[in-house]
A = this chain, B = another copy of it.
Amino acid sequence: MDRRPTIADVAKLAGVSRSAVSFALNGRPGISEDTRERILAAARELGWQPSRPAQALSRGRAGALGLVLSREPGAIGADAFFPAFIAGVESVLAERGDALVLQVTGPGDEEAVYRRLASDRRVDGVLLTDLRVDDPRPALTTELGLPAVVVGDADGAHGLCAVSLDDRPAFAAAVHRLADLGHRRIAHVAGPQEFRHARRRRQSWEQAMREAGLPPGPVLPGGFTAAGGASATRELLGLGPDRPTAVVYANDLSATAGLAVAQQRGLAVPGDLSVVGYDDTPLAAYTHPPLASARADAQGWGAAAARALDEVIDRGRADDVELAPAELRPRASIGPAPA
């Protein structure tokens, strides 16, 4: 008995037909309560679970969602967002025993990956993250008839359902707080501007600056990386007497690196320079000084995205979802502007 049990074994053991087993398993009517229990008992006894490939084939439904990560292999570990996001997706899928299929790819063959995913029938839909400006993927998935949901705001979603989370309140809170503390020159170290979320964070910062009646300070590219954050900070600190007294970074990684650069230069944080990150990584509360940051519920985001995608798959469409906005976690890296 090397072979795993099939539905036929269960049927034989329970003394019914294969279809009866299928009906019982899927809670269909037309099976008496007695029989249903006998069948389920038989299944339990044999340790039988329906074969997913077989189910997928006959139902025309893979029972899996796809997530394509297209990043440089090196940068892949830098992001605390994805693990939490994925955990959220899983929390929804796990209920139904569905799975998440992950594909990691370079930016180059992204399109091919989606095409394969679409004709492969391995997933029922995909989550689109890290949307870029002029991202071809929304149109592509539509063309391919592959259900998709955009993780991020509706701009550029091309009519797809978008599950978004507003980061403006967090940037507004940070900038206003800094303004209240007397800062007038507040810089931004931005993420790669080909990404919509990076661009949006930058815009959120700009808008907050305008609201606070401050001239938008210098914006430097930080690439979401530690190296980028460090070199942007070096440049900012080299600006002379008019250098910014506060920097709002696009993420914690570049912010933490910036923090270190400032300290390496002998500057006190927040005495000489205030610093704000974004993401509220596990480390943020434990840097020296603790890094003010913004907390977005990545896990909730994943769960919401998975639910939305489910709905798109089932009903063809779903309403956009707006999650609770990111919240500023003020910490000691923010202080009064230097005199």
Q: Which residues of A contact B (CB under 8 A)?
A: 2, 4, 47-49, 51-54, 56-57, 62, 64, 69, 71, 73, 75-84, 86-88, 90-91, 94, 97, 99-105, 115-116, 119-122, 145, 225-227, 229-230, 253, 256-257, 259-261, 263-264, 281-283, 285-290, 298-299
Contacts and interface: CB of A to CB of B under 8 A. Distances in A.
20 contacts: A49-B116, A51-B121, A52-B53, A52-B122, A54-B57, A54-B121, A69-B87, A76-B83, A76-B86, A77-B83, A77-B282, A77-B298, A79-B83, A99-B101, A100-B101, A100-B102, A256-B286, A260-B288, A263-B288, A283-B283
Nearest to A56: B53
A23 B336 CA distance: 73
Contact of A119 (B4, B100, B120, B260): B4
Contacts of A121: 4, 51-54
A151 B143 CA distance: 40
A105 B89 CA distance: 11
A290 B261 CA distance: 10
B299 A287 contact: no
A104 B86 contact: yes
Nearest to A104: B90
Nearest to A59: B53
A99 B103 contact: yes
Contact of A282 (B94, B225, B259): B225
Given A48-B119, A288-B260, A226 B282 contact: yes
A52 B120 contact: yes
Contacts of A298: 77
Given A4-B145, A49-B119, A51-B57, 16 more contacts: A47-B115, A53-B57, A53-B62, A64-B122, A69-B87, A75-B282, A77-B83, A77-B281, A83-B83, A99-B122, A226-B285, A253-B282, A260-B287, A260-B288, A260-B289, A283-B283
Contacts of A57: 51, 53-54, 57
B103 A102 contact: no
Nearest to A252: B283
Contacts of A64: 101, 122
A49 B120 contact: yes
Given A77-B80, A283-B226, A283-B253, A101 B101 contact: yes
A103 B90 contact: yes
Contacts of A82: 77, 83
A210 to B, nearest CB: 31
A223 B120 CA distance: 42
Given A264-B288, A288-B263, A256 B282 contact: no
Contacts of A88: 73
Contacts of A257: 283, 286-287
A91 B103 CA distance: 9
Contacts of A73: 84, 87-88, 91, 299
Contacts of A261: 286, 288
A86 to B, nearest CB: 6
